[in-house]
Structure 1
Amino acid sequence: MTIIVDTSAILALFDEAYAEHKQLAQIIAEADERLVVSPMVVAEADCMLHTRLGSRAAHDFASDVAGGAYDLAAWTSNHHAAALTILDRYSQDYVGITDASNVVIADRERTDRIMTLDQRHFRTLRPLWGFDSFVLLPYDS
């Protein structure tokens, strides 16, 4: 199985001030699953880590991705078009392209597991196939 990792989870993994930090770190430490990140998440996390925690945290995350701690998902114009369809479908919910990219990648990976603190969006968003809802880690573990 695969876990899609969202920006909010990455921020919490790097910032011990988050209440979910220890839970997420434990899930990562014990995971047999592939941890997949969208290129959109990588860019967003880089910016947010740099702004909130400094360049060292942003560099450490980039090193984690480069070192294979996370699988960087491929992203094409077809994937982007699919994400835009999700944005249109959920236009009233203020879903952004990064969250939509996670839904597209979850579909491609055939998983319902998303590591995120963003319950507002991911309790609303629906998987594109096979599942009624997403399993949100750490909340649904």
Structure 2
Amino acid sequence: MTVNRASARYEGFGKEGKGSITTKSGVLDKQPYGFGTRFEGLPGTNPEELIAAAHAACFTMALSFGLARAGYNGDTLETSAAVTLEQQDGGFTITKSALTLTGKVPGISADEFAKIAEEAEKNCPVSKLLNCEITLEHNLEA
């Protein structure tokens, strides 16, 4: 079992409040977040951006291991994730995570690449955690 930790601190309330996020690894160290970083494009991060990063990283790693299990030697995999936050029922809900993958995998067919990518999307831990629509677009480069 692996346990990872992060913490958040928020000072003030509502739109005027300001927060910071810190991770145990130190990758994030009092990284600012708040209404402005979430909705107004101000410098800092926000929960949806962090979820997008986690989903892209987790899926790409799962795909890497799936390709290795299938006997392929890697070149590159690049994934972006776009997490959608929508206002619903008087609050906000994460409704979608859209994964976009580009891969270079010598010797694989487009069909096999798609099959292994779809399996990775279904089985990566972050995909399993998310309670939203997940889409996957994939492109195999020659």
**TM-score calculated relative to the size of structure 1:** 0.23
* Greater fraction of residues in helix: 1
* Greater fraction of residues in strand: 2
Identify which of structures 1 and 2 has the higher relative contact order when contacts are C-alpha pairs closer than 8 Å and 6+ apart.
Answer: 1
**TM-score calculated relative to the size of structure 2:** 0.23
